[in-house]
Structure 1
């Protein structure tokens, strides 16, 4: 294994971009972040490989402007593994592919049992990749050579993997399926921010009362603001269990808060004034949160459907095995054929009248891809019609 250098200045970037322009074929791209260590999801290392050019490792915080790299490879197909995870970090650097090949998504569409990068490389090429540094703090500097070797291997074999998977997709008649899925990943809008992200506090279910929830919200907000300012993952400052313990203990003084055994982390102690002020703000809050958060446009859980909407429950129970049968025939996970949420939504409020054409339109409005609609609309429509006929014959028998 050779030595790897991290390119960290504009001149090195330009030279690498020139070499990558002279390379041939698709470009493998990967990103290393510092999830669990830093607040942001920024890239702390960008790895690029192209045949005829080799592997290049870039230091985004030092380089800053990646325009030469975008100019060099922006028009090529980028090969990524689990592209939806890396694209936001790449876009922060103004690195935007014109088209992608997602090796994880391709493996799913092919029905492979293992879809992690190491497993896909091993299954396609017979090469084992060590994953020892996948959860490391990539914001650390300098980066050890063993980490750089790991990072380089993440892209060095990816184009070869792409070629094997592309051939298998063609053999199974799934090339168009994959192309539509890859384009959907590229075009997908970022998820809107949660209305009440503080409700994701682990252990919040134990908190009772709107006033106590206001204190929990205030503590969460204080931690979030501090974490963002320090660029540290919130849980590394004060874990969720400590915040929830403070809410449940309902301390009547700063000293009582400090005495909590769960409140022993360094940031808990050194920032005690911050947390006590947050508790006092929560207790003084006039706009109290509801006991349960807003559901937005989410549907009731299917277990509640027999009581809430029995006709929809019957439709779902009829359509689900029919869709699963199609997925089995295509040798792919049912969630890649059609996400369960889309099936639930069309079952809850189907179009009228129910036909393959109206179900197709409903699925398209919900965001299903053309190939998904072609494979599922007719079986869903048939299942819904059969469900209605069964219900009607049952009602006739009862009368």
Structure 2
């Protein structure tokens, strides 16, 4: 597999024209208001991953935006809540429809509290993903080889993981429940951006 790094936008046709896309984002931190979006990585489940590096203040990226907002293509993410908010804040588009492997993990892997991508990949498909570059300077003008490999690995296995999780959702009778969660995610991300990120609006108090 090869990971391609693109500056500022995705080339036309890089991920074909149909089918689900695995998506992940790297930012300067976890606060989308403060921490700028730096890299968006994508995979159509084929042999290659594509990383789009975004410079500070340069968020035009028309091809990338159109792909992320394309409602005919499912976006597969892990902890989609953050990525949807970051894309909404910095690229100005809403990712939909979406599928979140972390949500499904919590719905079907109720025997564990370890729902990170590394643990999920290890159990479901036997892949060990390194997380060493998770906390690194994603705003640097050039990505290191280690950063490129880390970012690519975050989307490389999501299609395969989804297949396993879908089987478990069906087995446990929770497909409709998962879909309802996915449908709400863009609004959950919007609530985060509007200041309700730490407030449970469904709670009594």
Question: How high is the TM-score relative to the length of structure 1?
Answer: 0.45
The structure whose residues are more often strand, as a share, is 2
Alignment check: 8 A CA contact 1:18 1:72 kept: no
Report the alpha carbon displacement of residue 34 of structure 1 after superposing the two structures with TM: 1.2
Please say if 1:8 is aligned against 2:7.
yes
**2:78 aligns to what?**
81
**1:158 aligns to what?**
158
Q: How many residues align?
A: 195
Question: How high is the TM-score relative to the length of structure 2?
Answer: 0.83
1:120-179, Cα deviation, whole Å (9 max, x unpaired): 111110000011011112112221101110100000101111111111101110000000
**1:186 aligns to what?**
186
The structure whose residues are more often helix, as a share, is 1
Distance 2:124 2:195 in 1: 38
In structure 1, the gaps of 5 or more residues are 195-297, 299-338, 349-399
Higher-Rg member (1/2): 1
Distance 1:37 1:80 in 2: 18
For CA contacts below 8 A with separation 6 or more, give which structure has more relative contact order. 2
Task: Specify which of 107, 110, 117 is matched with residue 109 of structure 1.
Answer: 107
Alignment check: 8 A CA contact 1:35 1:137 kept: no
Report the alpha carbon displacement of residue 39 of structure 1 after superposing the two structures with TM: 7.7
Distance 1:139 1:158 in 2: 24
Alignment check: 8 A CA contact 2:41 2:50 kept: yes
**1:30 aligns to what?**
24
**2:91 aligns to what?**
93
Distance 2:81 2:6 in 1: 25
Please say if 1:20 is aligned against 2:20.
no
C-alpha distance 175-90 of structure 1, shift in aligned 2 (>3 A): same
Distance 1:25 1:50 in 2: 7
Report the alpha carbon displacement of residue 100 of structure 1 after superposing the two structures with TM: 0.6
In structure 2, the gaps of 5 or more residues are none
Distance 2:142 2:149 in 1: 14
Instruction: Provide runs of 4+ in structure 1 moved above 3 Å.
Output: 36-39, 191-194
C-alpha distance 40-6 of structure 1, shift in aligned 2 (>3 A): farther
1:126-205 alignment to 2 at 5 Å? 126-188=126-188, 189-191=190-192, 192-193=194-195
Distance 1:101 1:112 in 2: 21
